[in-house]
Chain A
């Protein structure tokens, strides 16, 4: 499913809304998550999962082909952890626990 299909499904379930309103709703949600992560904040959506940002410190890497050393800058990467309810739903109601 892609974004336009998501918008279409929700618009079909809510005939009183224009497709454009639904598009704005989906974008407002995604923008809010993006902006939170850009501030380094965490986004916790119970049952679904949690988005956070992890810091990867600068390190000296190696070009695996030449073996040459390369400086790798510090970076910040988005991270997602699946929520408990979602994890259970993906496994037909069985809770296998974390990981």
Chain B
């Protein structure tokens, strides 16, 4: 398994290499793409990126949780959460790449 952590800087570099914009502009656009996706999710709308996956916002009602250390029951407040559903293509590509590697 890999042990690197990819960050915004790596995404900017990829955009810079592949698209031919300046480094500054590449980094601005990576930011724009992420904030466009975030802003859309905050309104409650899903974002579907074909062959990659979709980001969905789910509303969760109040439920009773438990403090695992003390066993004490505590109410968990209602909230909205964001869920990533990877596409079948993405799941397949990752699994093939990593199980193939392990077998060699």
B 34-79 contacts with A by CB, 8 A: 34, 36-38, 40-42, 45-50, 52-53, 57, 77, 79
In the assembled complex, the CB of B94 is this many whole angstroms from the nearest CB of chain A, namely 5
Cβ contact within 8 Å between A76 and B94: yes
Q: A39-B2, A43-B5, A80-B84 are in contact. List 16 more A-B contacts (CB 8 A).
A: A6-B40, A10-B32, A14-B32, A25-B29, A25-B30, A28-B14, A28-B18, A29-B30, A32-B11, A38-B94, A53-B98, A86-B38, A89-B42, A90-B41, A90-B80, A91-B80
Q: Which residues of A contact B7 (CB under 8 A)?
A: 43-46
Cβ contact within 8 Å between A76 and B33: no
Q: Which residues of A contact B15 (CB under 8 A)?
A: 25, 28-29
| A33–B45 alpha-carbon span in the complex (Å) | 22
How many contacts between A and B, using CB within 8 angstroms? Answer: 159
| A53–B102 alpha-carbon span in the complex (Å) | 14
| A28–B13 alpha-carbon span in the complex (Å) | 10
Cβ contact within 8 Å between A41 and B49: no
Cβ contact within 8 Å between B52 and A34: yes
Q: Which residues of A contact B6 (CB under 8 A)?
A: 32-33, 36, 41-44
Cβ contact within 8 Å between A82 and B82: yes
Interface check A9, CB cutoff 8 A: yes
